[in-house]
Structure 1
Amino acid sequence: MADLSAFPITKRWPAANPDVIQLYSFPTPNGVKVSIALEELGLDYEPHKVTLADEDVKSDAFLSLNPNNKIPAIIDPNGPDGAPVGLFESGAILIYLAEKTGKLMGQTATDNAHTIQWLMFQMGGVGPMFGQLGFFAKFAGAEIEDPRPRERYINEAKRLLAVMEKQMEGKDWITGEFSIADIAIVPWLNGLDFYGVKDTLGWDDHPNVVAWHKRFYARPAVEKGKNIPARD
């Protein structure tokens, strides 16, 4: 049985089975990237619900694994150097899991490079920009009378959707083959409905993106992973 005692987080969220990957997360667009990837890869794991409340993500226990106080994070008891390894940042975790299994990164070094390219597109563009749009459309920023912040992120979200619409022409998946890049991006597209901005962004004017979104959520592993850990 693996010894995870070096990770203080396991005292607050104990591992029932320390021999499998421990997932500390919540079903947000960033969080479900990892649960979906774990399901798609067929890896055994144990989910622990870490809410977005300060009492969880800013607790000493969680900060001991992720000093940036954001979900998700993992501990892999079977790390690459023969010892458990802890990781945070969803994109880094996706790359780690894909490299661990040799899956969801494409067949060649060129495929690998293109997959990471589109993963970074999500990490550097889609996630931050859609997240800011959500803040100004649904949350506290919606109360700001000055329209310029909201317009900035609406325009940038439209631009990013146009990039994806063009890239998805004639493709089922963003690199041509299902990969961690799709797993990274599409949950953020789902977030647009939660933010109530699909009509504002002209969602239906992007048929390639709409079809991609539907195709993604029709996958059994995605259907299972999209609500892990369960909110309730």
Structure 2
Amino acid sequence: MTIYLPPLEDNPNYFPPVSDALDDPDGLLAIGGDLSTKRLHQAYRRGIFPWFSNNDPYLWWSPSERAIFSAPDFTPNKSLRKFARKADYRVSINTAFSDVIYNCALIRGDDQVWITQEMREAYTELHLKGLCHSVEVWYQDELIGGLYGVSVGQMFCGESMFSKRSNASKIALWAFCEHFSAAGGKVIDCQMMTEHLASLGAVAIKREEFIPLLDTLKDKYLKHEVYDPQWLMGQENDD
């Protein structure tokens, strides 16, 4: 079967309408372009994200269903609450972005390498521009878990997470949801549903619902600066 994908133009603002995305493979929309900060930013504002492996061309996606969390409604289950009370974990934001994305890249097998070195460099540049952020979980001085993603107004587009100790990525998500929702944040976009996300309470919505939701939230401001480097949970008081 021959698949035709529109090549992206030099104009970083251009993407085809997401309604043109293929049904098979689900959500594949366009090919080519670059990973410049401007193009990536425009992609996320349209509900599009890059996903490709080493030695592949740049591929851009907008799947027919999106997995999302409502940040204000995120509720950790009893076992996670119990674990968090006993675990000596600390959670921070934007204090170790490069380490988080590096560890997220390590969790994939050789046949699933999509956080390539080029992707890491592109998202690090987004981070330096204040558009991409990390959440870190620490045990003593060891980074044991975290996540990163792109901010789009009152929506946060999660890219990946990792965990080296029990429940570390879950606690990262929980702490961030509380922090984000307190500032007026509404939705965490997780792109595609997995069993793990579903177990945490993510729900799937159709692209036809997701895009209007994104359009409603992407230009709305948060109540305060959410992404200043700071501790979100577990930092001891030095006084």
TM range (shorter): under 0.3
| TM-score for the superposition, normalised by structure 2 | 0.26
Q: Comparing both structures, which one devotes a greater share of its residues to helix?
A: 1
Q: TM-score, normalised by structure 1?
A: 0.27
Which structure: greater strand fraction? 2
